[in-house]
Structure formats: C-alpha cells, structure tokens
Structure 1
C-alpha cells in the first residue's frame, strides 16, 4: 500500500494554476480563435472543462472542448491488460480539428507516452495546424522527447514516488499528493 508523503497542491492552488494556464493559452495564441481544448481521459477531460470555463470568463468567448480516449494507442496496452480486454470509452470530438490549434490537456506529464498516444489519436481524427500540451503537473522522468507548453506545477519526483491527482468531479476532492510506492 502506498503511503502519502505530502499534499503538494490544494483546491486553491489547483484553481490558481488553471487560471494561470488559461491566461498563458490566451496570450500564446493571441486569443482563442481556431483553438480547441482536448482532454485526455479521465482527469484531463475535467481539467479541460475547467480551463474552458476560465478562458470564457477571461475572453468572453467560448472554446470548444473534446474528449480523447487513448486506450488503443498506448504502447503498454499488453502490460496493463494481460488478463482483460482494454476498456475503451471512445473519443468525443464533435467538430473538425483540421487546421485548428489543439491544446491537449492531461493531469500529469511523466514519461511522455500518454501524450505520444494522444497525438497519434488526434492525427487519426484530423490534421491540426498545431498541437500544444497543457498539464497540471510535470513530474519529470521523460522517456520520449516531449515537453509541456503550459505547466501548473513542476514537481520533481523520484521513481519510487507516485503523483496522485484528485478532482472533485470524480474523487470528491481537489488535491495533488505525492505517495511513496
């Protein structure tokens, strides 16, 4: 059983980080015209919805949100699901992403493999003009040459530690904690 070492972000810190990321997205893209937020299942979807709310508050313009299921694009699918079929919930991107600026949203950036799978999935859906990455936490330990454009908090970790993101929409709390494996 993993033991919690520290809570590194509380509800208020998460809210501030998402507000900062929303401002950075607007600034980098000179507004949100032709931009789309796409959350990676599961927690990335809720973070994308929260970012969309902040962006609309700031800009007065709604931004489209999509949901991406990367299950079948993972390169570790056989390791994770040896005794069971992968649970595919499906992607929900009800608009054309071709020639749009897609901001991929996820909770934690670790090895980069989830993001690579997300980019593969997006390319099967359409041809965006660019793909940017927004993450709540970057914990290091990259295995692929991927970096986030927008980071809520950098939390250097050891490989024996685990970052756990909890969001009120599914976990009944907003916090980010470090656990010892």
Structure 2
C-alpha cells in the first residue's frame, strides 16, 4: 500500500477511536508510539495522519504536554473540511468540488501576473517535467496551486487531493503539449480553456 494511502487509513482509524473512546474537545490524543501499537502501523504513517489532522485544525500539539482534540465545530471552514475525516462516510463529489474551486482560483491568480512572471511559471513547470518530476496531472495541478501564491490553498489542496485519490491513483499522464497549451491559454487570458484543460483531467 502506498504511503499516502496508509496515512489516510490511519486517519480513519483515529476518527473511529475518537468515537469509540468518546473523546471530546480538550481530550488528549494518544502519542505516536501508542497509536502505532494500537493500530499496528508504522510510526511514520501515524505521524503523517496527525500532521493532516493538525493542518485542518482538528488537533493541536502542546509542547511538553501532548496532542489534544480541538473544538473544530466553532470554525466553519474547519468544520467543512473536518467532516470528511471525523464523520462517517465521505462526500467525494464535494471534495472534488472544493479541490476544483481552489485550482480555478489559483488559475485566476496566475492570470494577474505579468508576462515575465507567467514565463517564469511556465519555465519552472517545464523544467520539472523535463526532469521527470512532474508525471501526472495531479503533479501539474499542485504546481499551479503553488504558483498561485496562497499557502493555505496549497495545504488544503494537498489534503483534499490525498483523500480524493485515497481509493485509487491518478494515472493520467502529463504531456509537454498540455503544459504548452496551459502557457498559451494563460498568456491569452483564456480562462475557459484553462479551466477546461484542468477539468478534462479531473
């Protein structure tokens, strides 16, 4: 099983543990070692799962004290994201919608760049492709979101993307032709074509 799928499984196990042990806001979460032993998984997988939960604001780490469950229901954004982790089931279509919204807004941010800045983004993406560091459309979309410059978008998108592909794998190969199309549409401020390019590979 791939590492990202392992940690998604651990996230689900933590969710079940919270419900089974009747933990509430302020309750202490077992340590990495304790969770690793309880679930029978590597500590690295537990660490990634806890990192994702902390990223979403569902838990917090207090230096010298441990990790605690937060009252995320007071925060509408965190509640929206957290329900996919802590509640039963996952509305995968909603995950896809939020993920696509972040991608679309990142595209709009890129369209406000100067021609020189757009060229820099294109050259950066092309260089990574030529080094075989970008192989799928997920990798490509990640670069677009990062280039948009909103770090919160990046963090949320990474978590949502992992959940979106938790039970499958992105196998849509990226081509340099698509990267060139992206740059052409960006230069001509063709929003519809840019969004269609991404949505075709959703």
Instruction: Compute the TM-score of the two structures, normalised by the length of structure 2.
Output: 0.25
Q: Report the structure, 1 or 2, having the larger strand content.
A: 1
Instruction: Compute the TM-score of the two structures, normalised by the length of structure 1.
Output: 0.27
Q: Which has the higher contact order (CA 8 A, sep 6+)?
A: 1
